[in-house]
Amino acid sequence: MKKVQLVMLSTLSSSGGGRETWISQFVPHFLNSQNATIEVASIAPLKDDLVLKTGPALSVESVWPWPRYIPWPFLFSAGYIYGAKRSRDFDVVVAIGGLSEALPVVLANLIFRRRSRSVLWVRTVYLREKANRIPRILRAPAAFIEKHLVRRFDIVIANGDDTAAFYRNYREDVLVIANAVDVRRWGEAKKVYSGGPLHVSFIGRVTDIKGIREFVAAANMLQNPDSASQKFRFTVLGPCTENVKKQLGFLEPSCAIEYLPPLPNASLPSFLKTVDVCVNLTYGTGDFMGGGVSNALLEQMAAGKPQIVWDNPIYRNVTDEGFAMFARERDVQSLTACLDDLWQKRSDLPAMSENAMRRAQGFGWESHISRASDAFFGARTFGTPTSDLF
């Protein structure tokens, strides 16, 4: 049987909703189960710990390896279009991300009259996540462009019910395929709480959209530096600018939170062995929001970490009261109350840990790859909500 040829493109930016982590795991699993070849096209090389091994079935190309002096979406489009002619015979083209990836695929298809099956795998609600960067006067034109780009793809996939609900305003047949996790690998990071201060950790991009300011405020309310017996140890691990560190007080000795620089994904299980509870606080409502089921959340669940999350559609997709506590979104008092309540119920942590690991079992790679293959190669299983899949 002839090998199916795919090209997968993404900017793989650090603010890309974990897409660089996801694609580095998806591609090997996909190639192990499919008679296919893949070319991964990116605006920059993959991170050192995520480099895909090239070979007969896989090539990794940088479509714009030169310095970037103008906004990278335009360079990505130009670079991809420049290289698109040689890939016009690919059977399937998969754009992974959002507007920045959709635009070059649509333009290349028009310019070169390419007949490849086109797939858009949205990883976030692009215009809402970037709302603070887009001048208000340009948001309506941007939404108009995005709407028409999305409609030009043969298949649109979302990684969460909340993201799919937004894009179903543009077209009804949006498929939901949640992220996947290597349950066995992350299960090695399980830790049984045995007393002492609860280590509560925020792991991810240190930005407003991830709820970092509410977490810092709640930690400062709960941490009493003069107390001899501390209830909590708070850490933040992830990429953060010096300016944001200063704004959040991470540089001050009095800060209740210890800031840790980001770790390679391969090193995260070791860090998680020290953590009792994780917080995941991505906004799920309003103009300034993210979306989808994140890799980080699934990894933490597979590692048996109880969760404190916002009560919004993002987390109701995946978590439940068996291992998660829900705070009102953007409400510092509610978040503080959840943390304090967790301390009072810390004897429940072992059971919550088991429940989290059990729930993560439903997000294995086998089902993920099977559903992606159906979407890529023609089986139409649209509109199935996440809650019906696991």
On whether residue 204 sits in a domain, the answer given is yes
Q: How far apart are the C-alpha atoms of 305 and 357, rounded to whole Å?
A: 8
Question: Tokens standing for 2?
Answer: 């002839």
On whether residue 388 sits in a domain, the answer given is no
Angle between helix 295-302 and helix 349-360 axes, rounded to 10 deg: 120
Q: pLDDT confidence of 132, banded at 50, 70, 90? A: low
Do 292 and 335 lie in one domain? The reply is yes
Q: Specify the pLDDT at position 88.
A: 56
Do 143 and 193 lie in one domain? The reply is no
Do 78 and 134 lie in one domain? The reply is yes
On whether residue 389 sits in a domain, the answer given is no
Q: How far apart are the C-alpha atoms of 79 and 72, rounded to whole Å?
A: 10
Question: Tokens standing for 382?
Answer: 């649209």
Q: Specify the pLDDT at position 63.
A: 67
Domain residue limits at 348: 183-362
Q: Specify the pLDDT at position 389.
A: 36
On whether residue 76 sits in a domain, the answer given is yes
- Yes or no: say if 159 and 165 are a contact pair by the CB < 8 Å rule: no
- Yes or no: say if 245 and 251 are a contact pair by the CB < 8 Å rule: yes
Do 33 and 90 lie in one domain? The reply is yes
Return the residue matching tokens 């215009």: 127
Do 166 and 23 lie in one domain? The reply is yes
Confidence check: pLDDT of 76 > 70: no
Q: What's the rounded mean pLDDT across residues 4-12?
A: 83
Q: How far apart are the C-alpha atoms of 291 and 284, rounded to whole Å?
A: 6
Do 55 and 88 lie in one domain? The reply is yes
Q: Supply the CATH number for residue 375's domain.
A: 3.40.50.2000
Angle between helix 136-151 and helix 99-112 axes, rounded to 10 deg: 50
Do 69 and 164 lie in one domain? The reply is yes
Please state the pTM of the whole predicted model. Answer: 0.80
Confidence check: pLDDT of 206 > 70: yes
Name beta bridge partners: 158: 122, 176
Confidence check: pLDDT of 385 > 70: no
Number of structural domains in the chain: 2
DSSP 109-175: HHHHT---EEEEEE-S-HHHHTGGGS-HHHHHHHHHHHHHHHHTSSEEEESSHHHHHHHTTT-S-EE
On whether residue 119 sits in a domain, the answer given is yes
Do 154 and 231 lie in one domain? The reply is no
Q: What's the rounded mean pLDDT across residues 142-153?
A: 89
Q: Specify the pLDDT at position 216.
A: 96
Residue 184 neighbours by CB under 8 Å, 6+ apart? none
Question: Tokens standing for 252?
Answer: 């001050």
357-372, pLDDT tens digit by residue? Answer: 999 998 989 889 999 9
On whether residue 387 sits in a domain, the answer given is no
DSSP-derived 3-state class of residue 90: coil
On whether residue 390 sits in a domain, the answer given is no
Q: Specify the pLDDT at position 131.
A: 55
